[in-house]
Amino acid sequence: MHEMGIVSGILEASTAAARREGALSIREIHVRVGDLTEIVDEAMRFAFEALTPGTLAEGAQLVIERVAAVSRCAECSAEFSHGRFDIVCPQCEGFICEMLHGRELEVSHIEVALPGEEDKP
Ligand SMILES: [Zn+2]
């Protein structure tokens, strides 16, 4: 399950950023995951639950935002969304395409609790 390694990297980056800001804890971690990655949401959540205890992100929520696959046709420049195996231009049926979205794997932002605001909802 390579999600373990992926989530471990996400946690490392997030906790490092939170620590830099002097945060007490991380409330939410928002990640963008392209539809063409092999990543399974449930496996990510499982890894997140397994890896967060004892870290700044203990009890935090993992928010997964899926990014649809979009490519641009090299023939006619049309941009279109598609699944994993049907990358064909709907306009000219060309199949030489440049992928624009779908392989994302990034932390878009995190929400943290800063000292002095612990009592806020
Ligand atoms: Zn085309």
- Cα(67) to ligand 1 centroid in Å equals 22
User: Ligand 1 (ion): which residues have CB within 5 A?
Assistant: 73, 75-76, 78, 89, 91-92, 94
Strands 97-101 and 69-73: antiparallel
CB 31 within 8 A of CB 65: yes
The whole-model pTM stands at 0.84
Per-residue pLDDT of the chain (121 residues; tens, 9 = 90+): 689 999 999 999 999 999 999 999 999 999 999 999 999 999 999 999 999 999 999 999 999 999 999 999 999 999 999 988 889 999 999 999 999 999 999 999 999 999 987 555 5
Determine the Cα–Cα distance for residues 45 and 61; give it in Å rounded to an integer: 9
Q: 69 alpha carbon to ligand 1 midpoint, in Å?
A: 16
Buried b or exposed e, range 17-35, using 16+ CB within 10 angstroms: bbeeeebebbeebbbbbbb
Quick: pLDDT tens for 95-107: 999 999 999 999 9
Q: What is the pLDDT of residue 18?
A: 97
